[in-house]
Amino acid sequence: MTAETDRARLHEFLHGKCKSSKIDLHKAFYFFDYMIHMQPTPLMSCFNILFTALVKNKHYGDVISLHTRMNSVGLVPDLITSNILINCCCKMSRFDDAFVVFGALLRRGFNPSVVTFNCLIKGLCMEGRIMEATRLLKKMISFGCGPNVVTFATLIHGLCRSDNTIVALQLHEQVINGNSKYSVTCTPNVVWYGSIIDGLSKMGL
């Protein structure tokens, strides 16, 4: 059996285990230990499958811990791994760490994706750091990364939660009319509309 066959079988096995939620924390650590000692090392996608399963079960701190161990043996995370780690840091309100990962991602030559920025914007909005989230949206544009419906829905939700419903409504009108400075037209989703309706209702409008 070739190394490539071993890798493929491991990927398929992990995907089946993790997708069916038949993997607990103990098993996840077992498979992680097995993978970091494999020769050759499995594809990073295998680690990403494992990390994603842990995130679904809200084991954010364990993902961060395993990522540290991965670095200690010389394994370099890819963009997806970095996005998973940024998400975990944001879920734990460890924003300084999230931006450290973001900086490391840039130094390795990766272009941050819309998922990268959406994780950071959502985390900042959940903490009520709306101005920082808004600035990050502008930085997203400067990176040539176009925001999507999730980006705007997240920011509008954050604006409405922080009593900035009028600003949210202005952003809503700009984006749906295609005349915003972000040069993006999006069709609002349920979260987007629900946030504005809730915000206006609280204002008696």
Taking only the tens place, the pLDDT of each residue in 20-64 is 666 788 888 988 998 888 888 888 988 998 899 899 889 999 999
Q: What's the whole-number mean pLDDT along residues 143-149?
A: 89
- 88 within domain boundaries: no
Q: Is position 176 within any domain?
A: yes
Q: What domain count does the chain have?
A: 1
Please answer whether residues 51 and 90 qualify as being in contact, where contact means their C-beta atoms are separated by less than 8 angstroms. no
Q: What single-letter DSSP state applies at residue 99? A: H
**74 domain residue, yes or no:** no
User: What confidence category does residue 1 fall into, taking pLDDT thresholds of 50, 70 and 90?
Assistant: very low
Q: Which two tokens stand for residue 25?
A: 């924390």
CA-to-CA dists, residue 61 to 38, 52, 90, 118, 189, angstroms: 24, 13, 11, 20, 31
- Which range marks the domain in which residue 196 is found? 113-205
pLDDT exceeds cutoff 60 at 2: no
User: Does residue 118 register a pLDDT over 90?
Assistant: yes
Rounded distance between C-alpha atoms, residue 64 and residue 72, angstroms: 13
Is 20 among the domain residues? no
Alpha-carbon span 154 to 171, nearest angstrom? 12
Share of the chain above pLDDT 70, in %: 87
Give the pLDDT confidence score for residue 99 in this predicted structure.
94
pLDDT band at 144 (very low <50, low <70, confident <90, very high): confident
Burial of 190 (0-12, 13-18, 19+ CB in 10 A): exposed
Please indicate, yes or no, if residue 50 is contained in any of the structural domains: no
What does the alpha-carbon distance between residue 171 and residue 199 come to, in Å, rounded to a whole number?
A: 14
Cα torsion through 100, 41, 34, 20, rounded to 10: 80
How many whole angstroms separate alpha carbon 45 and alpha carbon 48?
5
In degrees and rounded to multiples of 5, residue 134 shows phi and psi of -65, -40
193 versus 41: the higher-pLDDT residue is: 193
Average pLDDT over residues 73-78: 90
| CB neighbour class for 76 (10 Å; exposed up to 12, middle 13-18, buried from 19) | exposed
Distance CA 198, CA 178 (A): 24
Residue whose C-alpha is closest to residue 140's, from 156, 121, 117? 117
pLDDT bucket at 5, cuts 50 / 70 / 90: low
Query: What residue type is 82 in one-letter code?
Result: S
Is 151 inside any structural domain? yes
In a domain, 205, yes or no: yes
Q: How confident is the model at residue 160 (pLDDT cuts 50, 70, 90)?
A: very high
Domain CATH code at residue 170: 1.25.40.10
**pLDDT computed for residue 11 by the predictor:** 67
Mean pLDDT, the chain, integer? 87
Mention every residue, 6+ apart, whose C-beta is less than 8 A from residue 122. Answer: 90, 154, 158
Q: 160 in a domain, yes or no?
A: yes
